[in-house]
C-alpha cells in the first residue's frame, strides 16, 4: 500500500539478482510470515509471492548475464505480512496487467495469492512490487484491493477471478496432446 515502504521494516535483504538468492529470500519471508502469525496456507502463499517476485526481477530487470541489486523488505504485523521486492533495472513496460497480458503469469499468480498487489515503475528506475498477505481472521484487515490501472507506471493486479480466467486459457503444458 502507498506509504508502507516508508514504515520501519522488520526485514531488509539487499541481494544480487543471482537466482540462487531466491531461496534465501523465501526462507526469510517464511520466518517473517510465521512471526506475523499467519496460518500455514498464508505462509505458503507468502513464500510463493516472494519467490515469483524475486525470479521476475532477476530474470527481467537486468541485461542477460548481468547481476544487479534486488531488495526484499517485509513488514510483519499481527496476522498481516507486507512483502516488497525492488529492483533497480530497466523497469516495467507501461501496460495493463490483465489476464490477457502475455508473459506475466507469475504476476497473476502473485495477485491471486495476495490480498493486495501493486507493481510500479520507480521514478529513479527499476520496479517495486508490493504484496500483502493476511490471515483470514486478521482483525481490522482491510479487504482485498485491486485498483484500476494507472498510466503513471503503477500496475495493480487483477482480481482472483480474472487470474483464474487467465489460468483457464493457458495451453496444456502436461505434455499430452489432444
How many structural domains is the chain composed of? 1
Flag whether 176 is in a domain.
Answer: no
Q: Contacts by 97-106 with C-beta closer than 8 Å and gap 24+?
A: 97/149, 97/155, 97/156, 97/157, 97/158, 98/158, 98/162, 98/166, 99/158, 99/162, 99/163, 99/165, 99/166, 99/169, 100/166, 105/166, 105/167, 105/170, 106/52, 106/53, 106/55, 106/56
Flag whether 175 is in a domain.
Answer: no
Flag whether 161 is in a domain.
Answer: yes
Flag whether 177 is in a domain.
Answer: no
Q: Per residue in 33-49, pLDDT tens?
A: 999 999 999 999 999 99
Flag whether 123 is in a domain.
Answer: yes
pTM: 0.72
Flag whether 44 is in a domain.
Answer: yes
Flag whether 155 is in a domain.
Answer: yes
The CATH code of the domain that includes 32 is 3.30.565.10
Flag whether 178 is in a domain.
Answer: no
Q: Look-up: residue for cell 544480487?
A: 16
Integer Cα distance of 178 and 159 in angstroms: 30
Cβ contact 61:19 at 8 Å: no
The listed range with the strongest mean pLDDT (19-23, 95-99, 170-174) is 19-23
By residue range, what is the domain housing residue 88?
Answer: 4-168
Q: Per residue in 9-39, pLDDT tens?
A: 899 999 999 999 999 999 999 999 999 999 9
Amino acid at each position: 500500500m502507498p506509504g508502507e515502504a516508508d514504515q520501519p521494516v522488520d526485514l531488509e535483504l539487499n541481494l544480487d539478482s543471482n537466482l540462487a538468492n531466491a531461496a534465501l529470500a523465501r526462507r526469510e519471508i517464511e520466518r517473517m510470515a510465521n512471526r506475523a502469525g499467519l496460518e500455514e496456507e498464508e505462509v505458503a502463499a507468502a513464500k510463493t509471492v516472494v519467490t515469483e517476485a524475486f525470479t521476475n526481477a532477476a530474470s527481467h530487470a537486468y541485461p542477460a548475464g548481468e547481476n544487479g541489486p534486488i531488495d526484499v523488505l517485509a513488514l510483519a504485523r499481527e496476522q498481516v505480512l507486507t512483502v516488497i521486492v525492488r529492483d533497480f533495472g530497466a523497469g516495467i513496460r507501461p501496460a495493463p496487467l490483465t489476464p490477457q497480458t502475455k508473459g506475466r503469469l507469475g504476476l497473476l499468480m502473485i495477485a491471486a495469492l495476495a490480498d493486495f498487489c501493486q507493481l510500479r515503475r520507480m521514478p529513479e528506475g527499476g520496479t517495486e512490487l508490493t504484496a500483502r498477505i493476511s490471515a483470514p481472521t486478521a482483525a481490522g484487515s482491510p479487504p482485498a484491493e485491486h485498483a484500476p490501472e494507472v498510466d503513471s507506471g503503477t500496475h495493480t493486479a487483477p482480481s482472483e477471478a480474472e487470474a483464474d480466467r487467465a489460468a483457464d486459457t493457458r495451453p496444456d503444458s502436461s505434455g499430452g496432446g489432444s
